[in-house]
Amino acid sequence: MKKMLKRLCTGFLALATVVTALPTTPVHAESKQYWTESAERVGIIEKVMNDGSIGSTFNEGYMKVEGETAYCIDINTNFKNGYKTRADASSRMSADQISDVALSLEYVKQYGEAHKELNYKQVYLLEQCVVWQRLSVHFGWQCDNVRASYDEIPKATQDEVFSGAKAFIKENKGRYECGGYIYSGEGQELGQFWAKLNV
């Protein structure tokens, strides 16, 4: 009996040694670093709280990842230029949250293409606002009506875009394949989202 117990212990220790000696590969965001920056200032944002007060105003930047358009995804954190790691948005957001943001952006892009009187800075401000509006609803930031200053974009235009984006989401859930990436590092995280019409 003593011999069998000794063999069992020896076998267990040998197995433990082999298992702990194996290389580990933790699951995390990809290790490649992506350059993120606020390329230029695009206009004044008013963080309108759900009680109607203005929590803050700030001059928003045009966010980019490796030169491609991106959006701030946390209105409560300041952005810092620098390298960030990328993860699939589904690692941090539900499919419903991703589709809400992606479909809102798709609507604003289509609106911008149809309304050439809006310049690229105004379209970007509208896109950034719908991202924050949808995320505020999902994450409880209490600033569901964040908007660009009316000096930047008229109230009537913003009202039309924001109500149109909400309607577009309701009408098109399930009609588009939606996805995105989140870029994390020092300062505010950035996101990129897309909506592709199902064939």
* pLDDT tens-place string over residues 35-59: 999 999 999 999 999 999 999 999 9
Residue 29 CB neighbour total at 10 angstroms: 17
Percent over 90 (pLDDT), the chain = 83
Per the DSSP assignment, residues forming a β-bridge with 179 are: 194
Spatial separation of the C-alpha atoms in residues 32 and 187, rounded to whole Å: 18
Residue 113: predicted pLDDT: 98
Percent over 70 (pLDDT), the chain = 85
Spatial separation of the C-alpha atoms in residues 142 and 102, rounded to whole Å: 21
Residue 17: predicted pLDDT: 45
Residue 1: predicted pLDDT: 58
Query: What pTM value is reported for the model?
Result: 0.83
Residue 25: predicted pLDDT: 37
Spatial separation of the C-alpha atoms in residues 149 and 147, rounded to whole Å: 6
Residue 78, CA distances (Å) to 38, 58, 81 in order: 11, 11, 10
Residue 3 banded pLDDT, cuts 50, 70, 90 = low
Residue 199: predicted pLDDT: 77
Q: Render 132-171 in DSSP notation, one character per residue.
A: HHHHHHHHT-S-TT-EE-TTTS-HHHHHHHHHHHHHHHHH
Per the DSSP assignment, residues forming a β-bridge with 184 are: 85
Question: Per mean pLDDT, which range of 15-29, 42-56, 136-150, 151-165 is the poorest?
Answer: 15-29
